[in-house]
């Protein structure tokens, strides 16, 4: 099957998992039926070749990225011939592991029960989260709270470091959705992270047909990898694919999106 791709835009703030039988009446009629949108899209794609796919990469940005946490295992089981569902479309193992089911809406809890190989691409200073959810710029003009976001994220990811099927690219850029644009995905000036590569050379020296010296030399070089390159290493199983950036402002490759009143933080 030839390579192909498909895009879907989320229909509500509960990323492709909500099934509301009746409209939610607020100031106007709003339908929360993201799960039905997902089901319809997958059913359509299955008839167009998805059912024959050998490898499927499910990705998303922002709320769409959160939706991948909820659907990757179900999609994997569906393509493997086993159609299953979790209670209220959340991960069943996650629901069974906690007395507070609402926690399974949050990725750090859902991730613990995901069986599908996973790659996390995120900024440690996601501009949307702390400008619109945590601390709006008017409440934090000097940007002190932005540093807490990185600490909390790295703490949540710590248990997954070293997992062979888990990839991650966590940089320290003031950004949001870095996989959609070529400038941040794979371009000459794209954001990069340093990857230490160990090179081992074996040297043998002969004189008059006799081995007079045999040595092994090791050196470490820094390889600068873009998001696309690290995702490629993970997807094609070319070894460890986990890179975490140093704290802001050490990364000079960032394409930062910073409000004008926080440029000097």
107/197 Cα distance (integer angstroms): 31
pLDDT band at 207 (very low <50, low <70, confident <90, very high): low
Q: Is 254 exposed, middle or buried (0-12, 13-18, 19+ CB in 10 A)?
A: buried
Average pLDDT (207-231) is 69
> Of the residues 12, 73, 126, 233, which is catalytic?
126
Q: What percent of the chain has pLDDT over 90?
A: 17
Task: Answer with the residue of higher pLDDT: 236 or 66.
Answer: 236
pLDDT in tens, 65-115: 888 888 888 888 788 754 343 345 677 888 888 888 778 888 888 888 888
Long-range contacts of 162-166 (CB under 8 A, 24+ apart): 162/242, 164/240, 165/117, 165/118, 166/117, 166/118, 166/119, 166/120, 166/242
Domain ranges of the chain: 1-106, 117-192+225-265
Tell me, yes or no, if the pTM score tops 0.85: no
pLDDT of residue 97: 87
**182, two tokens:** 């070529």
pLDDT of amino acid 22: 59
| 3-7, 18-22, 108-112 — most confident range | 108-112
Task: Tell me if residue 5 is catalytic.
Answer: no
Query: Lowest mean pLDDT: which of 70-84, 185-199, 210-224?
Result: 210-224
Q: What is the mean pLDDT of the chain?
A: 76
pLDDT digit string, tens, across residues 128-178 = 877 776 666 666 666 666 567 788 889 989 998 888 889 999 999 989 889
Residue 222 pLDDT class (50, 70, 90 cuts): low
Confidence of residue 13 (pLDDT cuts 50, 70, 90): very low
| Alpha carbon distance 35, 51 (integer Å) | 20
Question: Which has more pLDDT, 184 or 25?
Answer: 184
- Percent of the chain past pLDDT 70, that is, above it, reads 64
Average pLDDT over residues 19-33: 59
Is there a catalytic annotation at residue 126? yes
State residue 170's pLDDT score: 94
Cβ neighbours around 241 below 10 Å, total = 23
d(CA 215, CA 205): 9
Residue 69 · residue 107 · CB < 8 Å:
yes
Beta bridge partners of 198: 220
Q: Write down the residue that tokens 């709003």 correspond to.
A: 30
Q: For residue 27, what pLDDT is reported?
A: 57
C-beta separation of 121 from 178 below 8 A: yes
> How do residues 45-63 score in pLDDT, each as one tens digit?
888 888 888 888 888 888 8
Which SS3 state, helix, strand or coil, does residue 183 take?
helix
Please say if 176 is a catalytic residue.
Answer: yes
Catalytic residue among 16, 71, 131, 176: 176
Q: Which of 62, 140, 194, 255 is catalytic?
A: 62
């Amino acid at each position: 099957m030839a390579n192909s791709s498909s895009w879907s835009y989320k229909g509500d703030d509960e990323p492709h998992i909500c099934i509301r039988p009746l409209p939610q009446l607020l100031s106007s009629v709003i339908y929360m039926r993201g799960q039905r949108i997902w089901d319809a899209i997958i059913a359509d794609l299955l008839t167009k070749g998805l059912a024959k796919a050998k490898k499927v990469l499910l990705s998303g940005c922002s709320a769409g990225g959160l939706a991948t946490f909820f659907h990757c295992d179900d999609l994997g089981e569906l393509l493997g011939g086993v159609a299953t569902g979790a209670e209220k479309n959340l991960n069943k193992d996650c629901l069974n592991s906690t007395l507070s089911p609402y926690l399974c809406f949050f990725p750090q809890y859902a991730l613990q029960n995901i069986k599908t190989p996973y790659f996390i691409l995120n900024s440690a200073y996601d501009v949307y989260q702390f400008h619109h959810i945590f601390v709006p710029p008017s409440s934090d003009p000097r940007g002190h709270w932005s540093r807490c976001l990185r600490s909390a994220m790295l703490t949540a990811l710590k248990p997954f470091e070293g997992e062979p099927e888990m990839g991650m690219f966590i940089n320290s850029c003031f950004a949001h959705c870095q996989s959609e644009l070529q400038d941040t995905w794979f371009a000459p000036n794209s954001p990069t992270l340093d990857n230490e590569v160990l090179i081992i050379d074996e040297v043998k020296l002969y004189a008059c047909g006799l081995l007079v010296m045999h040595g092994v030399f090791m050196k470490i070089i820094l390889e600068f990898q873009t998001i696309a390159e690290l995702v490629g290493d993970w997807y094609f199983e070319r070894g460890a694919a986990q890179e975490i950036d140093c704290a802001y402002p050490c990364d000079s490759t960032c394409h930062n999106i910073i409000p004008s009143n926080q440029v000097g933080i």
